[in-house]
Chain A
């Protein structure tokens, strides 16, 4: 077959896609962070926000979001100084409280901008405006439950805005069902026992989370114990006790929810 008649660029892209699918690497903490992520977490724990901050920090430190193309030192410095927008709707504030400055990571305290939106609609508006802003480093959203406003269209809208402007969005869903979404990576998080600290083994240590990646574009699903170490995010793989033993097909809606249509 004469391959020279085929469009070269298209061929290369197809080949790259095929190659990626063949490799299909397992997720690593230093893997590039997609621009729209969802984290499902219970509202009675601070894990969602904690993990969102850890992911955002990981992404900003590896600098893979937008300044990768420019790649100069001054850009990294600028990225360090950009603000982070944290949007919460009223129910999320009621359930999980507001960010507390003294408990935030050291390098984030002075550059957090908090938005207390009354309704999920307002929260979505604030997140989208934040993604449009070139002076923000990341947008963190917290929305409780499955509000009607946050449907597939809204989620797709957020993905498109984030990818157009290159600002990562970490959307924390408190006490929510995994419904349809176009997020590029979807995590389900719960807290895990922390590693004992060095000086007082009776005290709680650095945060650890049990994380299940149940939908991602570039990675196969998996489970990890994530540990928020001072410098980086550490992950150790968990082998589920019986991975294929009991796939629960009782809930049919969930089947479509876990599959992201936009990610196909």
Chain B
């Protein structure tokens, strides 16, 4: 099904101004313009302006000569595209997936869907009614291929339906060649060749004696046009379904999905929880039938006023336990603004992984044996955030603080270059090295007495220096080397301290001392 928002920019402008079609500011000639290198150009004109002679693509100065009273407003193509994207999400109420057809159209896959709405005719009526309620002027059409649906939506009477049993070629023969979604220069070529309708093109293709010799002629004319939008033959084949036309859906397709349409919009949390529980149970059944478990779940909530709220959830391991899903979603639903109510909910498993069937975990067993590691990590991550639960992993660097990275707890460890065994490292590392003041330094270079956080340490034993040079391929040339010492004071406190630089390295003044780690 193709939906064409014939007046998208103006409809958005009317919505933002709050004036109905043909009243208020819309009753006078008005145009939306873009500034170009040659002066302002009209992007869209309202019915009054069109009646006065202004068309889209015209220079504003030309239009002003025809209609001096014309008002102008700046157009907003980026906003239109963003709106179209949201509209495509919203249009998924009529089918499992939808694609944006820039700049002002949508494509919705309604294969085997129409009976849910009581037939294709009533499906189109529903589309028209819902879009009109949102103040959008649309024309929709249903056809076996996306190209044919697009052509019908743009150039046929409103609400055209082409069923697979019809003879597509004859039904589409009367449409202009612009219905092939071609570039303007190609349209110009075709017009100069005298090909105005699809029927003309199809006639040439078949040839005078129906041998197909005409196809070769067109093929030669457009032989170096590879892109579909520049080659009428490819477009024609796509239109008739002879070659496939891949489309990019706004959300990927094959994910398991369950949904609930509600008779009465809900506004309260308790009801929402009930519906989410139902959805989770449905989802568990769907996943079980496919032998999969969900890693990422998306809960979409369609509000009465056309907004779609989406909450996502990601899990450490594949699961299809409905209670677990509900518990995790419960934390995410606290900040939902239901507005005038939510009329439809949909739960999708955007990322699922194979998960074998297992014996059901009996309640008593779960109580006795506790939760699994993956469930525990999920609970921690949901409450504390993703960055809070992590596992230290080695990284390829010899600078101490850079030699350790953090990653999510259940991911496999990266390959590791072995640390040298004689490097003694502290048990804990401060987040940033803290400066210590050296009160008395030994002639060998290390401090005999230093103070840190207000306590004075008399160094009794020391090992070092372990010299760690800066990573010249990563740091600036002025980075200083570090001389690390393991020290123990008279009370037995063991620290890892370093001197940042040498006095004679010419990269700053006297080096400072820092304390970086605590030994056990």
By a beta-carbon cutoff of 8 Å, the part of chain A in contact with chain B is 44-47, 49-51, 53-54, 83, 93-94, 96-104, 109-110, 112-118, 122, 125-126, 129-130, 132-136, 165, 167, 190-194, 196, 200, 202-204, 207-210, 228
Contact = CB atoms under 8 A, between A and B. Distances in A.
Contacts of A208: 492
Instruction: For the complex of A and B, list the 10 residue pairs with the smallest distance between their C-beta atoms, beginning with the closest.
Output: A50-B520, A46-B518, A203-B463, A135-B373, A134-B370, A133-B376, A204-B488, A191-B492, A102-B425, A103-B425
29 contacts: A45-B494, A47-B520, A50-B427, A51-B520, A97-B431, A100-B404, A100-B425, A100-B429, A102-B394, A102-B425, A103-B424, A103-B425, A112-B391, A114-B390, A115-B384, A115-B389, A117-B384, A129-B371, A130-B380, A133-B371, A165-B370, A192-B492, A193-B491, A194-B488, A194-B492, A204-B488, A207-B494, A208-B492, A228-B520
B419 interface: yes
B77 interface: no
B428 A83 contact: no
A204 B461 contact: yes
Contact of A98 (B371, B428, B453, B488): B428
Most buried by B among A193, A208, A210: A193
SS class of chain A's interface: helix, strand, loop or mixed? mixed
A227 to B, nearest CB: 11
A94 B431 contact: yes
B304 to A, nearest CB: 37
A193 B490 contact: yes
Contacts of B384: 115-118, 122, 125-126
A237 B428 CA distance: 28
Given A46-B427, A203-B462, 8 more contacts: A45-B493, A49-B428, A51-B520, A53-B427, A94-B431, A99-B427, A116-B390, A190-B492
B391 A113 contact: yes
A101 B392 contact: yes
A100 B461 contact: no
A181 to B, nearest CB: 23
Interface string B427-458: 11111000000000000000000001101000
B391 A100 contact: no
A44 B453 contact: yes
Contacts of B455: 44
Interface in B391-411: 391-394, 400, 403-404, 406, 409
Contacts of A96: 428, 430, 518
Contacts of B247: none
A97 B491 contact: no
Nearest to B393: A101
Interface in B343-395: 369-373, 375-377, 379-380, 383-384, 387-394
B13 interface: no
Nearest to A44: B453
B154 interface: no
B159 interface: no
Contact of B426 (A103, A109, A113, A136): A103
Contact of B431 (A51, A98, A209): A98
Contacts of B388: 115-118, 122
Contacts of B463: 200, 202-204
B517 interface: yes
Given A98-B429, A130-B376, A44 B391 contact: no
A102 B487 CA distance: 18
Given A191-B493, A193-B490, A46 B380 contact: no
Interface string B76-87: 000000000000
A113 B460 contact: no
B383 A103 contact: no
Most buried by A among B409, B490, B494: B494
Nearest to A47: B520
Contacts of B389: 113-115
Contacts of A47: 520
Contact of B494 (A118, A191, A202): A191
A102 B391 contact: no
A115 B393 CA distance: 14
Given A99-B392, A191-B494, A203 B461 contact: yes
B518 A134 contact: no
B423 interface: yes
Contacts of A53: 427, 520
Most buried by A among B392, B403, B430, B463: B392
Most buried by A among B383, B384, B403, B427: B427
Most buried by B among A45, A207, A210: A45
Given A102-B403, A113-B409, A165-B370, A97 B520 contact: no
Contacts of B380: 115, 126, 129-130
